Structure 1
């Protein structure tokens, strides 16, 4: 059994979805493992990681709209020192996940045909986000 770790730095364009699937695949393939488990963990509280459909962009648009309805800007939040988009971003991150695991089978991430891995930026302005990767396998 072997393991490998790295920190993936991802620049976002502000609120929205950044597809990181190709970067994950490239790093995993570079480790030379055939079977195992990739664990991802985002090191932030106002962004998240999701596995979601990659075929119809309306899915991501509808998800973003739903997030906005669930945690709107301008609501009377107590935490407001970092701007009107900050507390809604924390709520959206809490409703999604900070990490996930994806099996590695025959040297490839076991994502479905229509699945991709996205970093979800919940803040309005661009950020550089860090995702810790841990691959355990052989």
Structure 2
């Protein structure tokens, strides 16, 4: 009689990591695609609590304003009451920042102005080279 000897297989203690590598590559691609979408925006200095006025010894801020008609104004313009086009405003703000890069820039918007117009002004200032923008508020009548 012939006896057949069977060899016993020894258990293998390896972990198959190929599926984990596939999952990690998919997650890497997802994060690479979504990361630029998250970082878009305009830098804004918003008050954490009740807004404090600027100190007396701080530099005079450059104030870009938008009225309810969507016209732009700049306090450092030769005629501050004359409306400016978006390009004129950007050129003048960039010129002022060339002279004094540390000068604060503030946005002053009419209460009737839509949020979209304020954001468009902030994007315009950002493209002109403004590193951060402050928002002006009216504290009269606020307790």
TM range (shorter): under 0.3
Higher relative contact order (CA 8 A, sep 6+): 1
Larger strand proportion of the pair: 1
Q: Which has the larger radius of gyration?
A: 2
Larger helix proportion of the pair: 2
